[in-house]
Amino acid sequence: MPISENARAVLERRYLIRDEQGQPTETVEELFHRVADAIAAADTHFDPQADTAATAADFFQLMTSLDFLPNSPTLMNAASELGQLSACFVLPVADSMEDIFDAIKNAALIHKSGGGTGFSFSRLRAKGSTVNSTGGVASGPISFMKVFNAATEAVKQGGTRRGANMGILRVDHPDIMDFITCKNDTKEITNFNISVGLTEAFMAAVESGGEYDLVDPASRKITGRLNARAVFEAIVDSAWRTGEPGIIFLDRLNRDNPCPSQGEIESTNPCGEQPLLPYEACNLGSINLVNHLKKTAAGYVLDREKLEQTIRTAVHFLDNVIEVNQYPLPEIDKVTKLTRKIGLGVMGFADMLLYMGIPYNSDAGVSMAKTVMELVQGACTERIYPVGRLDKNSLGLLLFTNDGDFANLIMHPSHHVSKTYRVTVRPDISDAQVVQLSTGVEIDGKKTSPAHVTVLEKEPGRVVLQMVIYEGRNRQVRKMCEAVGLEVARLKRTAIGPLKLGMLAPGKWRELRPGEIGMLRNAVKTSTGAPETLGDLDEGILESASRKGRPAGRVQYQSQQRQRGFE
């Protein structure tokens, strides 16, 4: 398997099944066989004569080639006694003591199995409201968020990580100002990400500078008014100070809700990329884009045929997960199999652009993102299973067709067709650690930080360049440079602080943006390459002072090259 020692260490530490003494009972290879066999077995739910051995072989190849990896709970729990394979859940929080603590219990069960939970606390009455059953007053949603937070602290997800939550409160809730600042003390509510649920009426008031209504969630009566722009500025200020809260556009979410007949979307998973209905779960997976490049005479290009085939196999895999998943609650089992949402995403997008010589923050980079996701959407919506795949609970037929915007179509007995999600671009931090790439579609601050390049030595037929990078990117830089034909002469980690060139006279530093590494590919050739100018290297490259106080590594590249292009 093309798995590095670092990736193997991550898999062994986090995903192998262990005995009562904490010792692994399987190898990394056996882990992937366990997962592939368990997920392939779902085919027999639809066809008792299905060739599950062939499907398992396809799934094993898909994962061990690192072309695709599912979310962590699938790797951890497939074919285990726990058997819970989804990463994302949303639970309802109704306005009663019984419902609130049921939600806390259910969240604990999900965290134990490796999943994350999202909640909307917007139905809870405001702080100080009368409680008719006791004659007392309500403590408000924030006080209960602290109870959820404490319960999460006590439960370790899947034996490997702390629980994670998303807490959302509508902007028209009477306690919204306290919610916006509830994490300004960074020691409070540490197991939650929080977001304010914005409405289009609120945003219109922000634009006009007007006021908007605060609404009691129980009586639906107006309890007050606030200046919308002041509230929005409070959100921005708090986010600037602590990174919290985020914002979520509730009206837009529900306008695009693929299953409106099943309810209203109120919350998302902890990272915010997967809006879900109450009691709904979604399993995720990511395609390694770097593995879907092919080298041509002109450089690296997207291998569209391979990517389309990977997408089809990955959708098959993720839909099978829905079937074999052992959900922690019967309500989640029912709703998830009714809507059959999957989240197929990508990872290594920034790395892919590096190989292709495309600047990340460019029109060409945006165009490539559009190309990739159009391929993902298009391949997902093709008919990849026979029409007639029957839902396990006889809720309807699961169809995969080439029309519409979503992959999964559920045909209900009433002939109502509801479209459901199949594409989700997620952070996929754990998967990215295994394949050693940048996460999702983002530039990782450590792994793809801007580099500095300068000319250190010049002599006839020989040029020495030095690139300064941040620690943690060394392996990726070496791999990338070797791929584009650069000879890595030396790779050395250095201490924190600006680089000391020692006996080599320092040149004038230039900052090299991530996508501009493609210019080096064209400018610097190995001894077998044709001499070319380095003139293009100057275009768009910014002069920059050395960066202080950050870890750095040093890479030198030696190549046979004429001196043209240097000044």
CA angle 178, 180, 183 (to 5 degrees): 90
Q: Catalytic one among 269, 288, 320, 325?
A: 269
Pairing of the two strands 192-198 and 165-170:
parallel
Q: Which residue has the tokens 């260490």?
A: 9
Q: Which residue has the tokens 């080599």?
A: 504
Distance in angstroms (rounded) separating the CA atoms of residues 484 and 332: 48
Distance in angstroms (rounded) separating the CA atoms of residues 332 and 517: 47
Helix axis angle, 141-154 relative to 97-112, nearest 10°?
30
Q: Which residue has the tokens 């001196």?
A: 563
Distance in angstroms (rounded) separating the CA atoms of residues 12 and 25: 11
Q: Which helix (H) or strand (E) holds 288?
A: strand 280-288
Partners of 493 in the beta sheet? Answer: 553
Q: Catalytic one among 71, 88, 193, 273?
A: 273
Under 8 Å between Cβ of 532 and 520? no
Distance in angstroms (rounded) separating the CA atoms of residues 396 and 338: 8
Under 8 Å between Cβ of 324 and 83? yes
Q: Catalytic one among 88, 182, 259, 271?
A: 271
Asked if 269 is an active-site residue, the reply is: yes
Asked if 273 is an active-site residue, the reply is: yes
Asked if 77 is an active-site residue, the reply is: no
Distance in angstroms (rounded) separating the CA atoms of residues 407 and 88: 19
The sign of the CA dihedral 168, 194, 216, 233 is negative
Residues annotated as part of the active site: 269, 271, 273
